[in-house]
Structure 1
């Protein structure tokens, strides 16, 4: 999982920012609506919905909001017809960027995404231009204290996951990143959940992610410009996730809260 250092640290910073801006619940609701529309409202029979609900609970999204989003997706309440798109682009210093979008109007969203790139002196790219630099995988981040790593390895392998590594550490608290094949993500998550709970571990992030095969380190000025571009993209209402091969670790503390 090259280039995956401090994933949790950075994602948590971004989640905190989104929450302050009042955006995160809207984005989570979109994901729940789309999942319910595509696979039905029964989370036990709809792995994508189950994952979306888990993410919403991790973000402390109110139960009423979750249930309302499910009903909208299932057609029980009036909702919006969202479509999903993946865009690719180049950032400062040739960094690669992947943007996952959910929108009710592509003709509005695409020009706005293009504008964010062009205003920063960067550009969108054709499909496939940078995605080959990433692995599209399932990723599960778990957090706990005084973890028995041998036992964790056993349950990770038993669940069908590919591997895991230490992602972040503060005092006795550690965060591990568990990687799965994209097609096995939901079954692995289902198998892991009860076993992780038995170990006293908490799932803090999960989903299908684009993980860079390698990362690019940039000088400070370029790196901060790239981070600003990523923040601007993430602040767009229709953008669900942004991924990059920029090595952010060194500048993580300078990401504005």
Structure 2
């Protein structure tokens, strides 16, 4: 989640002492893609109506239920490859990071590129894993709770264009804090 989004949510809660509510809308998009839209709002009903008016213009509709079953909810922690690993082969880096992942109670780790590791965790142990990695001197680049698609779907160019325009509109809504999809 971008820092600007977090700052926006914090500022809105400081200005208005109204109770903020978090909610995830399940949306069926063009080409039957699934979109999860996380919001944090003092008035979820109004936000839902605002999003509904956008959806009509972009061939989208609220899903009755079950959209979340197309995703795994995971903690995702990206770290720099520690300097202690410099000069090591990718397999050796991954082996050492895997041992640390087990020690930190992460579910998995992948080497994204020469300088970046990505650890995944259960959302309930996310903060603990992050703290454990910091104690092992990993420099955390980004950490968030994300919805990871289980299976991605291909869209036509036309449907992809509709989705792109819809995502741009959704991103402009102040209450939207996360947008996830299962598009390949």
Q: Normalized against structure 1, the TM-score is what?
A: 0.61
Query: Is 1:25 aligned to residue 7 of structure 2?
Result: yes
Higher helix share: 1
What CA distance in whole angstroms lies between the structure 1 residues aligned with 2:16 and 2:30?
42
Residue 149 of structure 1: CA displacement? 2.4
Contact 1:30 1:102 in 2 (8 A): no
Distance 1:83 1:132, change over 3 A: same
What CA distance in whole angstroms lies between the structure 2 residues aligned with 1:205 and 1:161?
15
The correspondence for 2:128, drawn from 168, 174, 187, is: 187
The correspondence for 2:103, drawn from 138, 158, 161, is: 158
Q: Secondary structure at the match of 2:136?
A: helix
1:196-240 deviations in Å (ceiling 9; x for gaps): 43xxxx322212211111111223332232122122212210111
The correspondence for 2:46, drawn from 108, 127, 130, is: 108
What CA distance in whole angstroms lies between the structure 1 residues aligned with 2:124 and 2:180?
20
RMSD: 2.5
How many aligned residue pairs are there? 176
What CA distance in whole angstroms lies between the structure 2 residues aligned with 1:223 and 1:238?
24
What CA distance in whole angstroms lies between the structure 2 residues aligned with 1:182 and 1:102?
18
Contact 1:83 1:103 in 2 (8 A): yes
Query: Is 1:143 aligned to residue 84 of structure 2?
Result: no
What CA distance in whole angstroms lies between the structure 2 residues aligned with 1:158 and 1:30?
37
Query: Is 1:231 aligned to residue 168 of structure 2?
Result: yes
Distance 1:104 1:78, change over 3 A: closer
